[in-house]
Amino acid sequence: MSDTHKNLVAGRWLDGVSLTENRNPSDVSDLIGLYASGSAEDVHRAAEAAADAQRSFYAKGPQARADLLDRIAAGIEAKVEPLAHMLAREEGKVLSEARAETLRAGQIFRFFAGEALRLSGESVASVRAGVDVDIRREPLGVVGLITPWNFPIAIPAWKIAPALAYGNAVILKPADLTPGTAHLLAEIIVEAGCPAGLFNLVMGPGSRIGPAMLSNPLVQAVSFTGSVPTGRGIARSAAESLKKVQLEMGGKNPMVVMDDADIDLAVAACLNGAFFSTGQRCTASSRLIVQERIHDRFVEALGKAALGLKVGPAFAAESQMGPVASASQLDNNLAYVALAREEGCEVLGGERIDELPQGHFQKPALFVGATNDMRVSREEIFGPCASVIKVGDFEEAVAVANDTEFGLSSGICTGSLKYAREFQRRSTAGMVMVNLPTAGVDYHVPFGGRKGSSHGPREQGRYAAEFYTTVKTSYIFAG
């Protein structure tokens, strides 16, 4: 009998209205456990408890918040291996990537432990004699956090940590596909001495938990990472109650490869950006825009490297790329592989791996001969698939790179300082990489994009305060 895992509401572990199976995408016969699926009433109970806990905990001051986050970081660091194993088992990342993501989560909590003590304000001279003006940041109150399956500990960490650091209470709804890692993190937060009600875990379908968050008047803000349609729906619902929202959504990220680039460096950057984490990253390099003079040489080298990747179970020592996270995602990826052929691309790889029938395995796919108006070059696939688009010169490369409804991350491989500087200046993305993969970011600087990729204040680093706090201006006359 598999273990049953409960929701955390108001400091108590509670059953849900039903149970959801959590299965291993490397081996679907492996039932990881049964996880409680919460109700709207669970969200409302969590919100009431969170509001009470937030007021009393915030009154204790920033040192209490810093100490709590520091203890959570220590708890993560002490349990890196069980956390990483759960992550690899339920999401499919190879173990080395799962371990790195878990370590990153600890670093994020440690960083925001410091930020709890560094939140500053301003004192400004008034235009009126004898009047002082103080500007300070204060917490919002209760925040709802909705996180995706592709980074099941890092993304919850970079939402929970700043929320608590700046004095808020939290209701976390993790992805249905990866509840196990979030549940282990919740246990660590409880063990760290988090006051009852300050942090709540309500698992369950977004169609039920999300509207409950958005309709509850005690929930002041919602931070969401996931698909564009869901993000737009959240924005519409939040507008009804004037809730603050932060949305991180899709990407169709370009990587430009100029003819003066170091080919080996460019291949390594594109291989990492397009195929590591099975391409299941919003920052993945899904459009490779290559100058025509080196196009054929680049495609030959990248195709050889991509098809040479060892695809296999997450725990296999030789695996370099794990499974696709779910059967439905694999079906979606394979449909785009078929579409690429229909649209006139030469497809290298991309097949389901029938030799591994127990899991959701697919070979990396390159869509050679793609153009930027094809659906495979415009729609986010969220799998190990990348379009290769040939361009004539730098101006065309920039135009193609920017011709997308998304604007999360972009990159260029070049030996030219001029091209690097111009691309950095002209790219309509929130993050720009030069001679680096488009995926892979630091935790102490802003994360986010433009256009259809992001809405609201940035995540991570000191910029997180823009979302998790509100500004109060005070005028004081001493008489």
Q: Any idea which residues carry the catalytic annotation?
A: 248, 282
Cα distances (Å, whole numbers) of residue 145 to 58, 149, 234: 19, 13, 12
Beta strands in 72-168 (DSSP E): 122-125, 131-139, 142-146
Question: Phi/psi zone of residue 394: left (φ > 0), alpha (ψ -120 to 50 degrees), beta?
Answer: alpha
Q: Which single residue is written with the structure tokens 């892979």?
A: 440
- Longest pairwise C-alpha distance within the chain: 83
| DSSP secondary structure of 439-456 | S---SSS-B--EETTEES
CB 131 within 8 Å of CB 434: no
Cα distances (Å, whole numbers) of residue 115 to 61, 199, 206, 355: 13, 19, 31, 49
**Cα Rg for the chain, rounded, in angstroms?**
23
**Neighbouring-strand partners of residue 81:** none
Task: Count the helix, strand and coil residues of the chain and give each as a percent rounded to the nearest 5.
Answer: 40, 25, 30
User: Could you give the CA distance from residue 28 to residue 83 in angstroms, rounded to a whole number?
Assistant: 20
Cα distances (Å, whole numbers) of residue 188 to 76, 82, 124, 134, 333: 7, 12, 42, 38, 35
